[in-house]
Structure 1
Amino acid sequence: MDSLFKVEVISQTPEPQRSIYAAMHQDYAEGFVWDDRDRFPSEERCGEIIVKSLLAGNRGHYGPLEHPQITVNCGFFPHSTMQQIRTHRVGVSFDVQSFRYTGKRIIDVVEGTRDIEEVFYLRPLGSYTDRQGKKYDYTEELRQQDVEWCLTACKRYQERINQGFAEEHARGLIPFDVRQHWVMSANVRSFMHLLDLRWKADAQLEAQHLCELLWEPFQGWVPAIAEWYETSRLKKARLAP
């Protein structure tokens, strides 16, 4: 995995499994469930009930899972990964770094104050296979050619900015996989939807790496649901709930 890829939690609904339990309980409770909040089961027990009553046996009643929300900061991923993730935005909100306002780091590369691979992503050396099964090798020589191409593009970007070009015009000259940061919020259901689609064996490598980093905070946040998901759905390419 690329050493710069990172995911950090900004905020999350406390006791998310109790929130889901409350929503589920209100579906069939005669009374106003808020009045019974002091008698709700523990967070751990609520998780067990959710798995048994909502998830086990593919019952498919995912509505209560939409109440708790987690917000994360995803950093240093290539632009292409952001596009892949943002495509599946059902129940997910994004605020993505704009290259209309954040072009200084492109110029930093030219001035030698920032490493080029901190700004642009290139895949690691190794053997790869395309979607048709054709194999190829990404060698040190080829990768260095790509590093040089990124540097050339940075110089052209700087030149156009110095000529008075707007950032949104000049950014069209930089390589596609410039690294990009974004803030993303998802509820429990949409989080699993994203993992279903982007942690499959045929998903693009960088998207799979993002899912690996997202998985750890998800496990810590809703442990009972994560345990069920790991057993029932993880990397099984099932239709997203």
Structure 2
Amino acid sequence: MDVGLVQQLATDEMICMAARVSTIGRNALDRDEEKDQGLISFLLRDRHGSPFEHGSFTFRISAPIFVVREFMRHRAGMSYNEESGRYRELEPVFYVPAGERPLVQVGKAGQYDFKPGTFEQWFVASESTRTAYATAWESYQNMLAAGVAREVARSVLPVGIFSTFYVTCNPRSLMHFLSLRTKSDDAKYKSFPQVEIQMVADQMEEHFKRLMPTTHEAFVKHGRVAP
């Protein structure tokens, strides 16, 4: 998974200014770092969310299509643009589970977990996906060579092929995404994300932590609950 931060306009200071304008008006520009930390912690603890909408992150992400589709379940405060198989020939980049990726489902829907598979299970999964990808790619190329439109030819490609998209979000929507798509012992409400989207979310969180350290610290402190 490849996650790049394209641009950002999000700071701890902006969160504080947005919050203080409600009580002190134009003097909200005045700063006090110690008070800023307390204010952000208070906002996260008591879930005063609107100040965290003042800012933005834009990420460029390359991931399998099944991860992209999970991403687009997140709609509030998230904007997307994705490469189109109608307008360009897609590249033969496919996802194959790594050896350490848990393969065996244990339990039932809503309560299940995953555990590592045997070598035989990993081998079957790896070889089966590679074979399916090779067959699908050959069919795709055959149709393109015969003059079939890209928008028709792409229909044979599997959801394991990579796609690239841009997503822009504010700090509040990013925290909501992270609360659902990461797994952490610090979380008040446990989440059980699919491994592949968590791989993306973990990289996004590193950018969030670096650029908004006070907000991120308070987010973790108060149970990783979005305000």
**Does TM, scored on the shorter chain, surpass 0.5?**
yes
**SS in structure 1 of the partner of residue 97 of structure 2:** coil
Confirm or deny: 8 A CA contact 2:41 2:218 kept in the other structure: no
Tell me which of 23, 42, 47 is aligned to 1:28. Answer: 23
Alpha-carbon displacement from aligned partner over 1:64-92 (angstroms, at most 9, x marks no partner): 110111111112x1111111111112101
The answer to whether the aligner puts 1:128 opposite 2:103 as a matched pair is yes
**SS in structure 2 of the partner of residue 32 of structure 1:** helix
The answer to whether the aligner puts 1:68 opposite 2:43 as a matched pair is no
Gaps of 5+ in 2: 184-190
TM superposition shift of 1:100: 1.6
Alpha-carbon displacement from aligned partner over 1:93-125 (angstroms, at most 9, x marks no partner): 11112122232524xxxxxxxxxxxx1112123
TM superposition shift of 1:52: 3.6
- 1:93 maps to which residue? 79
The amino acid of 1:48's aligned partner reads Q
Aligned residues: 211
Confirm or deny: 8 A CA contact 1:10 1:73 kept in the other structure: yes
TM superposition shift of 1:47: 4.3
Give the Cα–Cα distance (whole angstroms) in 2 for the partners of residues 211 and 170 of structure 1. Answer: 31
- 1:53 maps to which residue? 42
The answer to whether the aligner puts 1:175 opposite 2:158 as a matched pair is yes
- 1:116 maps to which residue? none
Give the Cα–Cα distance (whole angstroms) in 2 for the partners of residues 233 and 52 of structure 1. Answer: 12
**SS in structure 2 of the partner of residue 95 of structure 1:** strand
Structure 1 pair 169/186, CA: closer, same or farther in 2 (3 Å)? same
Give the Cα–Cα distance (whole angstroms) in 1 for the partners of residues 90 and 16 of structure 2. Answer: 48
**SS in structure 2 of the partner of residue 99 of structure 1:** coil
The answer to whether the aligner puts 1:226 opposite 2:216 as a matched pair is yes
Give the TM-score normalised by the residue count of structure 2.
0.83
Structure 1 pair 46/192, CA: closer, same or farther in 2 (3 Å)? farther
Structure 1 pair 174/25, CA: closer, same or farther in 2 (3 Å)? same
Structure 1 pair 50/73, CA: closer, same or farther in 2 (3 Å)? farther
Tell me which of 15, 19, 31 is aligned to 1:41. Answer: 31
Give the Cα–Cα distance (whole angstroms) in 1 for the partners of residues 220 and 61 of structure 2. Answer: 22
Alpha-carbon displacement from aligned partner over 1:132-174 (angstroms, at most 9, x marks no partner): 2587543224412321221111110011112221111111101
RMSD: 2.2
Alpha-carbon displacement from aligned partner over 1:177-228 (angstroms, at most 9, x marks no partner): 1111111111110000001111144111111111111111100111011111
- 1:203 maps to which residue? 193
Give the Cα–Cα distance (whole angstroms) in 1 for the partners of residues 42 and 23 of structure 2. Answer: 12
Gaps of 5+ in 1: 107-118
**SS in structure 2 of the partner of residue 101 of structure 1:** coil
Give the TM-score normalised by the residue count of structure 1.
0.79
**SS in structure 1 of the partner of residue 200 of structure 2:** helix
Tell me which of 50, 60, 64 is aligned to 1:78. Answer: 64
Confirm or deny: 8 A CA contact 1:20 1:50 kept in the other structure: no
The amino acid of 1:28's aligned partner reads T
